[in-house]
Chain A
Amino acid sequence: MQWILPDGASTFAGDIDFLYYVILVITGIAFLVVEVGLVWFAIKYRARPGRRATYTHGSLRAELVWTAIPAVTVVVLGLMSGGVWNHVKGRHSAPAEALPYRVLAKQFEWHVTHPGPDGQLDTPDDFTIRNQLHMPVDRAVVVHLTAEDVIHSFFVPAFRVKQDAVPGMEIPVWFEATKAGRYELACAELCGLGHYRMGAEVMVHAADEFGSWTAAQAAARTQ
């Protein structure tokens, strides 16, 4: 049994993981209170000859306590979560200087349009690669996500990123990798018979290496 999250590799992974652990502790306490209580009551108040149950219909004070505690807890949790949510997924949360990409999901592959050396989409130096997304480390990127046929979902577990790709909609999703390396991108929404193999890779390059890689790609494509 494993309750520890795998290593995160994006700027907001830490915030999401922290919330997860806060909830894990709170629910863990509630879990223990209820389960230990149930077992304890079951043993202590088991039927024995000559005993009779206490005749009571309840206690308003006790009920107010166990109404108020969860109510306050969930409101606090909601407020904590709201901040992180706005930071990660809010309408205008993507940093202005984020490097733009366009990802088109279709059965059963990812078409990733890279911005090219100029760092802009919809310019002649853009290039599209199938099932690979190359990006620099320590720089925010924003993926303009869409789908051609059915709903897919763009899921990079290490970045704590998941966003459905919906045909007819373009949805921005941003993230900033903190460690160079290779990461897996998976489709997380049932999209047909090849859903299970709709994987791709995300290559996070060191900043200088990314520059030369992009230049080489762009050059190779214009020849």
Chain B
Amino acid sequence: MTTVAHPSEHTTHAGHELPFIRKYIFSTDHKIIGIQFLLMSLVFLFIGGLLAMLIRWQQAYPGSAIPGAAVLPETMAPGGILLPEFYNSLVTMHGTFMVFFAIMPLLVGVFGNFLIPLKIGAPDMAFPRLNMWSFWIAVPAGILMLAGFFVEGGHAAAGWTAYAPLSANPEFSGVYAGQKLWLLSIAILGLSSILGATNYITTVVNLRAPGMTWFRLPLSIWALFITAILVLLAIPILSGAAIMLFFDQTIGTHFFAPAGGGQPLLWQHLFWYFGHPEVYILILPAMGMVSDIIANGSRKPVFGYHSMVYAIIAIAFLGWVVWGHHMFQSGMNPTLGLGFMISTLLIAVPSAIKTFNWMGTMWQGNIRFHVPMLHAISFVAMFVIGGLSGVFMASTPVDIYIHDTYFIVAHIHYVLFGGSLFALFAAITFWYPKMFGRMMNPFWGKVHWLLTFVFFNLTFFPMHSLGVYGHMRRIYDPTQYEFLQPLMGLNKFITVSALLLFASQLIFILNFIGSWFRGAKAPDNPWEDNGLEWTVPSPPPHGNFARVPTVHHGPYEFSAPGVAEDYLPQSSATRIAVPPAEGRRVEP
């Protein structure tokens, strides 16, 4: 804990002498590492979006040249026309980049790092140097994953789920080094995640400021803490499975190849035993941060704080017993399907608690529609659609029909884009002033929000219809089937919307970069929030707190009686006049 030894000066955020390379490159400061993760994952988010545009073009105009794609090599798109094998790589890598290199690091790597020490009143992470390693291990993983595009045989093309034997046997896929690089990269990235998770758990358990009891933790921290436990338990399963698949490819083992006595379904069990907790890794931090922001925007305490905590724990627990719902049609014993269906349907219960409690938080509030709040409300509105569409596929008989169709594509995007990414836009715009010391432009923020909200829905809502017609996912050319012909109009509509959705993100990129240099100087507490991070300068100095703060209140004491302002910082010594009449189990 060397960082404690550096009490800050308010005039500069790094008053002590560290060479540039130690301060910004190989930094051990959790805030810098968070920003490093932010920049890296935004780049991957952009690349993932770009791949999606190629996919969409092919779905609407199969076999026609993509404008500008003639620059791609012959092995990908001769004359600008995508090859089917490259299309499969695009589908695979869009999913891979978005899940592993964009959404997951944005939620866990960025906000886990940036928020945990600041919000619990700690000077830094418990293991700052381990933290630095967790970022610098993720970088080569990203480079390896990008390198796959440039090797002979093309990049991995077996889907982001890498189902064996297609992924195990180059003879069947035509992919050689690409799949191996994919597996190595995933295994290396797993190491980075495990280091990060260890750090987060230790930090939350040990470094909370005096008075920061468990039930005074903001829900963002609760969610990141539970997520870190999921990461620590789930990622090793993926790493193990990836290494087994790598051995199948390189040293002739047969874990997943039936020819040598292996079992293809074993890969699916291992992958989804990791993969479903992963889904909650990708949504729980989003839920936590949205809870913080909705309380702030509504100027009201979170409705049912304790049940929000228990719902996070319940979702995390149920996440371990639902993986089979990805495998209803896989050939797994159908009797297992019944158990997995019930456990899956039960997830609707904690999800409903969270949704209605967010609405309850807004009820009788005094709502400020700042940009983070707009994104946070959109998160609730979109996550609900993703949650409800999940009920269709949880019902095993309905899943027979919609499994592996665009209905699933619509569902995952309502959860991961409508859910996680809207929450991330909320979180980035909310904490940007604390990260960079400058405000993002609110006008362009609102324009970006509106365009994203509209084009997101125009892109993904019609995909439900494609699925209802039976449109399979991951097919290079839908015109091959007669029953898909009537859907080509809808496919074109979706593609145009997707292109506009992508274009709208340029506003965000420009606002993000422009505000960094020219944004208005951010005050310490621009949103009038209660969290400890808002009591220190923007950006906070190395070591965060000049003096260790003492916490007197829960995180959401907005509009408390007897307090002049409509917010009450957690470290404020001001007392609340009347204990809440309706409230229960509130820490004094």
Q: Which residues of A are interface residues toward B (Cβ below 8 A)?
A: 1-6, 12, 15-16, 19-20, 23-24, 26-27, 30-31, 34-35, 37-38, 41-42, 45-48, 51-60, 62-63, 66-67, 69-71, 73-75, 77-78, 81-82, 84-86, 88-91, 107, 149-151, 153, 155, 157, 160-169, 171, 184, 186-197, 199
Contacts and interface: CB of A to CB of B under 8 A. Distances in A.
A77 B345 contact: yes
B335 A151 contact: no
Contacts of B580: 55-57
B583 A162 contact: no
B84 A196 contact: yes
Interface string B299-320: 1111111010000000000000
* Interface size grouping (class) on chain B: 35 or more
B323 to A, nearest CB: 16
A161 B377 CA distance: 39
A58 B303 CA distance: 4
24 contacts: A2-B468, A16-B400, A41-B359, A41-B365, A42-B362, A42-B369, A47-B299, A54-B364, A54-B365, A56-B583, A57-B305, A58-B303, A58-B584, A59-B304, A81-B397, A88-B400, A89-B334, A151-B166, A160-B400, A161-B400, A190-B88, A190-B91, A190-B158, A197-B480
A214 B334 CA distance: 33
A6 B468 CA distance: 8
Contact of A70 (B299, B348, B377): B348
A85 B398 CA distance: 9
Nearest to A65: B356
Interface stretch (B8-16, B73-81, B556-564): B556-564
A91 B333 contact: yes
Interface string B83-115: 111001001000000000000000000000000
Interface of B: 83-85, 88, 91, 157-159, 163, 165-166, 169, 172-174, 258-259, 262-265, 298-305, 307, 329-331, 333-335, 337-338, 341-342, 345-346, 348-349, 352-353, 355-357, 359-360, 362-369, 377, 380-381, 384-385, 388-389, 391-392, 395-398, 400-401, 403-405, 461-462, 464-465, 468-470, 472, 474-478, 480-483, 558-561, 566, 580, 582-584, 586
B582 A59 contact: yes
Contact of B384 (A19, A30, A78, A91): A30
A5 B582 CA distance: 47
Contacts of A58: 301-305, 307, 357, 360, 582-584
Contacts of A195: 84, 88, 474-476
A82 B307 CA distance: 30
A15 B397 CA distance: 9
B366 A56 contact: no
Contacts of A67: 349, 352-353
A90 B586 CA distance: 50
A53 B334 contact: no
A2 B363 CA distance: 34
A66 to B, nearest CB: 4
